[in-house]
Amino acid sequence: MPHEAAIAPTAYTVDPRLWEATRTPTVLLVDGADVNRRILKAMLKSEPYRIVEARKASEAVAELEKQEVDLIILDLMLPEVDGPGFCRWLKNDRRTQLIPILMMTSVQGVENEIAGIAAGADMFLFKPLSPSVVRARVQSLLRHKAAVDSLEEAETILFALAQAVEQRDKHTGDHCQRLATYSVALGMALGLSHPELVALYRGGYLHDIGKVAVPDAILFKRGDLTKEEWQVMRAHTTRGEAICRPMKSLAPVLPIIRSHHERWNGTGYPDGLSGEQIPLLARILQVADVYDALTSERSYKRAMSHDEALATLREETARDWRDPALVAVFDEICSRASIPRPGLVAPPEWPNASPMQISMHNMSRALLKQQP
Question: Where does residue 149 fall: left (phi above 0), alpha (psi -120 to 50 degrees), or beta otherwise?
Answer: alpha
Number of Cβ within 10 Å of residue 134's Cβ equals: 19
How far apart CA 243 and CA 193 sit, in angstroms, is 26
3-state SS, residue 29: strand
Active centre residues (catalytic): 211
Residues 246 and 11 sit within 8 Å (Cβ to Cβ): yes
CA quadruple 134, 139, 144, 147: dihedral, nearest 10: 170
Least distance from Fe ion to the Cβ atom of residue 157, Å? 20
**Which range in 48-56, 169-177, 203-211, 265-273 contacts Fe ion by CB under 5 A?**
203-211
Site mask, Fe ion, residues 322-341, x = CB under 5 A? --------------------
Q: Establish whether the linkage from the previous residue to 128 is cis, with ω within 30° of 0.
A: yes
CB nearer to Fe ion: give 31 or 289.
Answer: 289
Phi and psi angles of residue 272, each rounded to the nearest 5 degrees, phi first: 65, 35
CB nearer to Fe ion: give 288 or 327.
Answer: 288
The footprint of Fe ion on this chain (CB under 5 A) covers a number of residues equal to 1
How far apart CA 126 and CA 112 sit, in angstroms, is 10
Residue 53 CB partners (closer than 8 Å, separation 6+): 28, 29, 30, 37, 41
**Which range in 20-28, 121-129, 201-209, 347-355 contacts Fe ion by CB under 5 A?**
201-209
Least distance from Fe ion to the Cβ atom of residue 266, Å? 18
CB nearer to Fe ion: give 76 or 176.
Answer: 176
Least distance from Fe ion to the Cβ atom of residue 185, Å? 20
How far apart CA 161 and CA 30 sit, in angstroms, is 39
How far apart CA 149 and CA 99 sit, in angstroms, is 10
CB nearer to Fe ion: give 90 or 256.
Answer: 256
Least distance from Fe ion to the Cβ atom of residue 289, Å? 7
How far apart CA 372 and CA 369 sit, in angstroms, is 9
Least distance from Fe ion to the Cβ atom of residue 202, Å? 15
| Contacts of Fe ion in 204-243 (CB under 5 A) | 208
State yes or no: residue 292 binds Fe ion (CB under 5 A): no
How far apart CA 206 and CA 218 sit, in angstroms, is 20
How far apart CA 157 and CA 139 sit, in angstroms, is 27
Q: State which amino acid sits at residue 25.
A: P
CB nearer to Fe ion: give 196 or 208.
Answer: 208
Q: Which of these, 271, 252, 266, 240, lies nearest to 187 by C-alpha position?
A: 252
Q: State which amino acid sits at residue 136.
A: A
Number of Cβ within 10 Å of residue 145's Cβ equals: 20
Least distance from Fe ion to the Cβ atom of residue 216, Å? 16
CB nearer to Fe ion: give 125 or 213.
Answer: 213
CB nearer to Fe ion: give 7 or 367.
Answer: 7
Least distance from Fe ion to the Cβ atom of residue 171, Å? 15
Question: Footprint of Fe ion on this chain (CB under 5 A)?
Answer: 208
